[in-house]
Chain A
Amino acid sequence: MCATCGCSGAAVIRLVTADELDDHGPHDHGIHEHGPHALPDDDEPIIAGQRDSDRTILLQQKVLAKNDSLAQRNRDWLRQRGILAVNLMSSPGAGKTTLLERTAAELAGRLNISVIEGDQETALDAHRIRSAGCKVVQINTGVGCHLDAEMLANGLQALDPQTGSIVVIENVGNLVCPALFDLGEEARVVLASVTEGADKPVKYPHMFRQADLVLVTKTDLLPYVDFDIRRYAADLRKVSPGAMMLKLSAVTGEGMDSWYDWLRRRTPAPQE
């Protein structure tokens, strides 16, 4: 079993290409190999003393040190290539894939975007994104409830994004676990749809605390649901004072321009 994500060790990376979509569907690009479990370059253990026959050995090691060091490696790799990586997180059904479909279609030819899809099973989302005209890699995590830095490294290798482009990582739909695992992204974007209710920032503070941007989605449904946007904004500010909030509907297009502006502002300048 994978010691980083708790998955069955069978996370599969699928690279969906246009030919495969038209033809026989995606094939397994490679198996999520964990390789030797190298440990971070911490100091050697220090023998602190003895108690009865047992010795105490100080470790002082972060539990997620291995994931964090792999995430930093991803971050360095992305920065060297001037690639903006955005980690998109939400509960299942908040509208991540719909947002990306419209984004890919409307920004085609203006911003170079590719997508890494994370789901427990199926390449359904990858097909949707590919149909919208976007290069995409699907990662299936098996029983895993989140993406980790090693999965992203494998995904980036399969995706081979262009220098100066944007990679959007659609994390596994889950408002809890993905918050803990740094992937090496430049920005964290959390989606919350109006149908989920306005209490999400206070119910899932770990997720919202780390958000750079919060997208309130499905605003076209506001007339039909009990969603107090002022309370939402006030609660979000308590949990995450630095997070920016935008409202949008990927169905009607309302608010999408602000999202595109946010992406454009963060996209690295073209390199010579």
Chain B
Amino acid sequence: MHELAITESVVEAVTGRLPDAKITCVNLEIGALSGVAADSVRFCFDLVAEGTNLQGARLEISEPAGRCQCRICGEQFDADGPIALCPCGSVEVTIVSGQELKITSVQVA
């Protein structure tokens, strides 16, 4: 259940950067290949935010899809799961998106 730790890192980072602001919304990017379940972060967020300046804030999570580039044929393709296989049969792929785990912005009152 590392999503609890991840959610706490989010709240700690925002509180550290903006200790005196009343945060009304937090925008996160959690890629489909990041190893973090966005739903679990949503589940934890209100609990973790309680008693901080993020209490009551809305949580918006964008979930970029997995996208890979084949190192053999050069084609880009969607990775629908964590195992990326190029249509050409190659497993030599580079993940170009989907591994994001980032606080993009917050809104303050």
B49 touches A (CB below 8 Å)? no
Q: A64 at the A/B interface (Cβ < 8 Å)?
A: yes
Q: Are A180 and B9 in contact (CB under 8 A)?
A: no
**Contact at B9–A63, with CB atoms within 8 Å?**
yes
The reply on A241 being an interface residue by CB < 8 A is: yes
A60: contacting residue among B11, B85, B102, B109, CB under 8 A:
B102
**Complex formed: what's the CA distance from A145 to B2 in Å?**
7
Q: Which residues of A contact B46 (CB under 8 A)?
A: none
Contact of A6 with B8 at beta-carbon distance under 8 Å, contacts A54-B108, A59-B14, A61-B102 already known? yes
Interface flags for B1-31 (1: CB within 8 Å of A; 0: not) read 1101110111111101110010011001000
- Tell whether A24 is near chain B: CB-to-CB under 8 Å: no
Q: Which residues of A in the span 32-76 have a Cβ within 8 Å of any Cβ on B?
A: 37, 39, 45, 48, 51, 53-67
The reply on B80 being an interface residue by CB < 8 A is: no
Q: Which residue of B lies closest to A5 (CB)?
A: B5
Q: How far is the CA of A205 from the CA of B66 in the complex (A)?
A: 14
Task: Give the docked Cα–Cα distance between A53 and B107 (Å).
Answer: 10
The answer, yes or no, to whether B91 is at the interface (CB within 8 Å) is yes
- Taking a contact as CB atoms closer than 8 A, the residue among B1, B9, B36, B91 that contacts A66 in the complex is B9
**A57 to B4, Cβ gap below 8 A?**
no
B82 A209 Cβ-Cβ under 8 A = yes
Residues A39 and B17 in contact, CB atoms below 8 Å apart: yes
CA distance A181 to B21 in the complex (A): 29
Q: Does B87 contact A (CB under 8 A)?
A: no
User: Is A231 positioned at the interface, with any CB of B under 8 Å from its CB?
Assistant: no
Q: Is the CB of A63 within 8 A of B91?
A: no
Q: Which residue of A lies closest to B102 (CB)?
A: A62
CA distance A219 to B23 in the complex (A): 55
Decide: B1 and A64 in contact? CB cutoff 8 A: no
Contacting pair B17 A63 (CB below 8 A) = no
Per the bound structure, the CA–CA distance linking A202 and B82 in Å amounts to 8
A63 to B13, Cβ gap below 8 A? yes
- Interface: B62 (CB within 8 A): no
**In the complex, how many residues of chain B place their beta carbon closer than 8 angstroms to a beta carbon of chain A?**
35
The answer to whether B4 touches A63, judged by C-beta atoms less than 8 angstroms apart, is no
On whether the beta carbons of A37 and B12 are closer than 8 Å, the reply is yes
Q: Which residues of A contact B109 (CB under 8 A)?
A: 53-54
CB neighbours of B21 from chain A (8 A):
57
Known: A57-B107, A206-B82. A6 touches B5 (CB 8 A): yes
The docked-state distance in angstroms from the alpha carbon of A144 to that of B4 is 10
| Nearest opposing residue in chain A for B81, CB measure | A205
B44–chain A nearest beta-carbon distance, Å: 9
The distance in angstroms between the C-alpha atoms of A213 and B5, with both chains bound, is: 27
Contact A63 B82 (CB under 8 A): no
Tell whether, in the assembled complex, residue B102 and residue A57 are in contact, meaning their CB atoms are under 8 Å apart: no
Quick one: CB contact mask for A69-95 with B, threshold 8 Å, 1 for yes? 000000000000000000000000000
Q: Which residues of A contact B8 (CB under 8 A)?
A: 1-4, 6
Of the residues A45, A59, A62, A176, contact of B101 by C-beta under 8 Å? A62
Contact indicator A177/B2 (Cβ below 8 Å): yes
Q: Hey, which bits of chain A sit against chain B, CB under 8 A?
A: 1-6, 37, 39, 45, 48, 51, 53-67, 144-146, 176-177, 179-181, 202, 205-206, 209, 237-239, 241
Chain B residues at the A interface, C-beta cutoff of 8 Å? 1-2, 4-6, 8-14, 16-18, 21, 24-25, 28, 35-36, 82-83, 85, 91-92, 101-109
- Using A180-B36, A206-B35 as known contacts, list a sample of 16 further A-B pairs with CB atoms less than 8 Å apart, ordered by residue number in A: A3-B12, A37-B16, A48-B105, A51-B107, A53-B109, A55-B108, A57-B105, A61-B102, A62-B103, A63-B103, A67-B9, A145-B1, A146-B2, A180-B6, A180-B35, A241-B92
